[in-house]
Amino acid sequence: MQEDFFDASDKEAALVSNLAAHVAQLRAEINRHAHAYYVLDTPTIPDAEYDRLFSELQTLELQHPDLKTPDTPTLRVGGTALPEFTQVQHAVAMLSLNNGFEEADIIAFDRRVKDGLATQQPVEYAIDLKFDGLAINLRYIDGVFAQAATRGDGFTGEDVTENIRTIRTIPLRLNMAKPPAILDVRGEVLMFKSDFDNLNARQRAAGAKEFANPRNAAAGSLRQLNSKITALRSLRFFPYGIGALEGVALPESHRALLDWYRAIGIPVCEENAVVQGVEALLEFYQAIQIKRASLPYEIDGVVYKVNAFSAQQTLGFVSRAPRFAIAHKFPAQEALTTVLDIEVQVGRTGAITPVARLAPVFVGGVTVTNATLHNEEEIQRKDIRIGDTVSVRRAGDVIPEVVVSILDKRPLDALTFVMPTQCPVCGSAIVKLEDEAIARCSGGWIKCAAQRKGGLVHFASRKAMNIDGMGEQLIDQLVYRHVVTTAADLYKLGFVALAELDRMGEKSAKNILAALETSKTTTFARFIYALGIRHVGEATAKDLAARFGNVDALVNADEEQLLAVSDVGPVVARSLRNFFSDPLNIELIQQLIASGIHWPEVQQYADAVLPLTGKTLVLTGSLPTLNRDQASELIEKNGGKVAGSVSKKTSYVVAGDDAGSKLLKAQELNITVLSEAELLKMCSGNAET
């Protein structure tokens, strides 16, 4: 009997361990796909697949709260700002929406709303279309357009003011006698279908690359560094909400807000409604789905919001999304075709992705010839073979994927896919770790040209070496023309080599050289992070810098020493040893240091007791003088850790203006709330911790 008890305990422990590993893998996969979609505008999976992963993670975290971590993507929105643009901190966070796919999801949403409002009467809802574009915040000061920023990660976006000025439907001055002191208009920038067709016709005539769909065209146009190019792209804008508002009273409802926008000169989409009850929501959804193809713009669903702002305030928010709204998404579009071949592509991080080469098929408005198969395990799970007839879906009208193989149509000579053992680009071994579903090229960005561009972009990024002006487009040219092979080559660039590049005049070349020189003065933590070592993020780089203090100590550290560092587990330790065991990586480090890169001596504090040692802090709202990065750095320098959400493990919450749900959560849990002044005083050693 006792033996059976231990067997059961062991099995339970194994199940918990497997579940934790699965949740960690889900988070990593969601973060990777979110970065590709929101930051790079190059989606790697269909929206439906991303939504499925996100929903699975939410469900698992709800069922197992102990598996929820401060860095889970369910607590955050989207991705971070691009380094080519000035960053803008949103006065009010731009949150995302939860999604519904079936009628049951919407019925459940309506039931939650009624429970939250303590009513059984039909709720009044406002309905808007869910445009397939790019979320934007427009700021008007005293009625004059002053700034525009993308959503970014929800808290910090990209300044695209000059490009937004080119959109003729957006007023540069509001049509009102007494405008608000500040008005943040939230909405979507998009491209109409006809404008998209005209743009691609011009691209073909010029021999340039065509855009895949209107959403990509709109995002690419808005992120042009030259606003003259944006002006030629015929972008449009429709509002869907509001951020900060000062100097006038907020309208009483969402519909009243849209009517007010229309009255002061901001264009409003006419396809909207105010209805009573959940049945009316579903009727609108069915009607607009039928009308979808005839609309002048692309949509991928509709958005339902409780109409009254007072009711919205009562319902509030949960984590990353409002309780008073939900997006009802359309089902993905599918078609049948044949798998002609299965090849592999090498991604920027070395990920080996099998890709199905398909007989051309028209799906979701475009001709599809390729579809992602994700990884080897996915191919085996779906049993997809070369020669099969398969169902292809363009979920969210973005990236095609193979949904299922039609077994009764399988030919006798169908071939099973075999994952290659060597990278098709550099010949390095393809490896697959036990805890990952994705196989990777082991060559790294130093050896493998397919990974080189991504590695260099990361090296030059703001949180790494912070080389101002060294963006993706410039690195593209440097790699394509074989001017740069490794990061050390960046510091060998001369004026002539830069000046000969496209859109790189004398002044720009001098600015890049100056930025390279400036970047040589950095920190040890930034240098570690810039190397792009797998699994080593900003926080881990800071911990490694603090523990080892210099390059030699870090390079020569064994796994036991590495495992002694906070938050470094076996996977990270193994990754570090693999990196520093490669002579090419050591040579790169030596070349970088020889080029003049240096940093102040690191004061090792791993064993010291600092003012915030052992404390976990959460930041919320806008602080008077410190931005989020500066406040985080201050906390970490004083021994503390910065978390993204409030829990019982939180030591302090640092709150500024417009603090939201995190402040309320802290008050509920009786967690001490600090002002910026109190944080500064504490870090100076003048307060008890």
Residue 458 above 60 pLDDT? yes
Residue 371 Cα distances to 1, 135, 215, 399, angstroms: 54, 27, 19, 7
Nearest to 140 by CA among 266, 234, 270: 266
Residue 410 above 90 pLDDT? yes
Q: Which residue has the higher pLDDT, 210 or 595?
A: 595
The CA R_g of the chain, rounded to the nearest whole Å, is 26
Tell me how far the alpha carbon of residue 253 is from its chain's centroid. 31
pLDDT for 661 equals 75
Q: Please give the average per-residue pLDDT across 90-94, as a whole number.
A: 89
Q: Which of 210-219, 304-313, 457-466, 543-552 has the lowest mean pLDDT?
A: 210-219
Strand partners, 371: 356
pLDDT for 356 equals 94
pLDDT for 141 equals 94
pLDDT for 79 equals 43
Nearest to 320 by CA among 30, 28, 21, 25: 30
Average confidence score pLDDT of the chain: 85
629 secondary structure, DSSP code: H
Domain 444-594: which CATH class?
Answer: mainly alpha
Residue located via tokens 């971590």: 69
CA gap 308, 497 in Å, rounded: 60
Nearest to 498 by CA among 530, 470, 521: 470
Domain 333-416: which CATH class?
Answer: mainly beta
Total residues found in the chain within this entry = 689
Q: Which residue has the higher pLDDT, 608 or 651?
A: 651
Reading the block at residue 376, the tokens are 């080897």
DSSP-assigned letters across all residues of 198-253: HHHHHHHHTTPPPPSSHHHHHHHHHT-SSHHHHHTS--EEEEEEEEEEESSPPPSB
Tell me how far the alpha carbon of residue 63 is from its chain's centroid. 25
DSSP-assigned letters across all residues of 431-500: E--TT-SSEEETTHHHH-HHHHHHHHHHHHSTTTT--TT--HHHHHHHHHTTS-SSHHHHTT--HHHHHT
Q: Which residue has the higher pLDDT, 106 or 636?
A: 106
pLDDT one-digit tens code per residue, 230-269? 777 889 999 999 999 999 999 999 999 999 999 998 999 9
Q: Please give the average per-residue pLDDT across 453-458, as a whole number.
A: 88
Q: What is the 3-state secondary structure (H, E, C) of 23-47?
A: HHHHHHHHHHHHHHHHHCCCCCCCH
pLDDT for 262 equals 92
pLDDT for 384 equals 95
CA gap 358, 369 in Å, rounded: 5
Nearest to 522 by CA among 552, 561, 485, 551: 551
Catalytic positions: 130
Please say whether the structural domain 2-75 has been given the CATH code 2.60.40.10.
no
State the sign of the Cα–Cα–Cα–Cα dihedral 310, 180, 162, 196: positive
pLDDT for 689 equals 38
Q: What percent of the chain has pLDDT over 70?
A: 89
Most distant CA atoms of the chain, gap in Å: 84
State the sign of the Cα–Cα–Cα–Cα dihedral 537, 440, 41, 489: positive
pLDDT for 420 equals 93
Query: Where are the domains positioned within the chain?
Result: 2-75, 89-98+105-329, 333-416, 444-594, 616-683
Q: Which residue has the higher pLDDT, 366 or 189?
A: 189
Give the global pTM.
Answer: 0.47
Other CB atoms within 10 A of residue 674 CB: 19
Band of the pLDDT at 314, cuts 50, 70, 90?
very high
AA letter at 641: K
Buried b (16+ CB within 10 A) or exposed e, 214-230: bbbbbbbbbbbeeeeeb
Residue 578 above 90 pLDDT? no
pLDDT for 14 equals 64
pLDDT for 81 equals 42
Q: Please give the average per-residue pLDDT across 111-129, as a whole number.
A: 95
pLDDT for 75 equals 54
pLDDT one-digit tens code per residue, 190-243? 999 999 889 888 888 887 777 767 888 888 888 777 777 777 788 999 999 999
Domain 89-98+105-329: which CATH class?
Answer: alpha beta
CA gap 354, 370 in Å, rounded: 10
Are the beta carbons of 513 and 493 closer than 8 angstroms? yes
CA gap 529, 158 in Å, rounded: 23
Sort 300 into a burial class: Cβ within 10 Å, 0-12 / 13-18 / 19+.
buried
Q: Please give the average per-residue pLDDT across 374-382, as a whole number.
A: 88
Q: Where are the alpha helices (H) located in 223-345, listed in sequence order?
A: 227-231, 254-263, 278-291, 309-315
Nearest to 312 by CA among 327, 304, 323: 323
CA gap 462, 152 in Å, rounded: 15
Residue 285 above 80 pLDDT? yes
pLDDT for 38 equals 46
Q: Which residue has the higher pLDDT, 2 or 286?
A: 286
Band of the pLDDT at 658, cuts 50, 70, 90?
confident
Mode of pairing for the β-strands spanning 325-329 and 299-306: antiparallel
Nearest to 635 by CA among 656, 622, 619: 619
CA gap 298, 282 in Å, rounded: 20
Residue 645 Cα distances to 162, 319, 366, 620, 671, angstroms: 35, 9, 42, 9, 13
Q: Please give the average per-residue pLDDT across 394-400, as a whole number.
A: 61
CA gap 290, 285 in Å, rounded: 9
Q: What percent of the chain has pLDDT over 90?
A: 40
Same fold, 2-75 and 444-594: no
Q: Which of 2-11, 236-245, 354-363, 492-501 has the lowest mean pLDDT?
A: 2-11
The strand ranges marked E within 309-399 are 317-318, 321-322, 325-329, 333-346, 351-363, 366-372, 385-386, 389-394
pLDDT for 83 equals 54
Q: Please give the average per-residue pLDDT across 405-411, as a whole number.
A: 90
Band of the pLDDT at 627, cuts 50, 70, 90?
confident
Question: CATH for 616-683?
Answer: 3.40.50.10190
Q: Please give the average per-residue pLDDT across 664-669, as a whole number.
A: 85
pLDDT for 602 equals 62
The winner for highest mean pLDDT among 401-405, 531-535, 650-654 is 650-654
